[in-house]
Amino acid sequence: MKTELIVALDVASVEEAVAKVKQIGDAVTFYKIGLELYSAVGPDVVKAVKDFGKKIFLDLKLHDIPRTVERAVKSIGSLGVDLTTIHAAGGRAMARAAKDAALTFGERAPKILAVTMLTSLDQTDLDDLGIGRSMSEQVAALGKLACGNGVDGVVCSPKEVAMMRQTLGAEALLVTPGVRPAGAAVGDQKRVATPADAVRAGSTHLVVGRPILQAEDPASAARSIRAEMESCR
């Protein structure tokens, strides 16, 4: 499967989102809209980006009772998004409810990804939560739980991709943020890998934000990341 590049559209308004998508043009076909932008401007931004013919990853990390998640995924699916996220910690019934809601869209069904443990958490947080496992055991267990209940894949760090591929099998989508081309600013990301590393490890989608959005020429930054991704196939 060809690894796809997704650009994290981390901007503050619909106008800014549209300006970036226009500026980047055909160098990028897939955009991630996150909780911050969606909470600020709502579904209008999804429609605005889709009007340019782009695919959408709507990353809202749903975590609620199954019925609520099912209805939220129905609303998300009606926006015509391609990928969306839930928390694996919502359990098997919530995962099933999300997938069942997605499947009502037939061929246009959004794929469901699970977030296992947020990368902002560490072993101390696991201990605080009373989880008596190591971080990697917990990440693997939650990934298995979600994918064993209909979820299509997980969001994980490039450092976890190889382990997740082994745990979840060949079909799982493995979507990885924390990607930085060699020489790019790392920002607040702690565990980064280059695009080539992530592709070789088995990522199906790379999520890249600032190295593209903040580049002087975002389209050419995106093209050079795609060239690096192509070069290691």
Active site amino acids: 61
Q: How far is the CB of 160 from ligand C5P (least distance, A)?
A: 10
44: which 2 tokens? 């209008």
Q: Write the DSSP assignment of 160-217 as a string of letters.
A: GHHHHHHHH-TT-EEEE--B--TTS--TT-SS-B-HHHHHHHT-SEEEE-HHHHTSSS
Nearer to ligand C5P, 34 or 66 (CB): 34
Q: How far is the CB of 10 from ligand C5P (least distance, A)?
A: 5
Residues near 158 by Cβ (< 8 Å), separated by ≥ 6?
176, 178, 179, 191, 192, 193, 197, 198, 201, 203
Is there binding between residue 119 and ligand C5P (CB under 6 A)? yes
* 73, 193, 207, 229: which one binds ligand C5P (CB under 6 A): 207
* 29, 136, 167, 189: which one binds ligand C5P (CB under 6 A): 189
Is there binding between residue 16 and ligand C5P (CB under 6 A)? no
Nearer to ligand C5P, 102 or 207 (CB): 207
* 3, 31, 34, 174: which one binds ligand C5P (CB under 6 A): 34
Is there binding between residue 187 and ligand C5P (CB under 6 A)? yes
Buried b (16+ CB within 10 A) or exposed e, 203-223: bbbbbbbbbbbebeebeebbb
Nearer to ligand C5P, 70 or 213 (CB): 213
Nearer to ligand C5P, 70 or 192 (CB): 192
Contact 69, 86 (CB under 8 A): yes
Is there binding between residue 136 and ligand C5P (CB under 6 A)? no
Footprint on this chain of ligand C5P (rule: CB under 6 A): 8, 10, 34, 119, 155, 177-178, 187, 189, 207-210
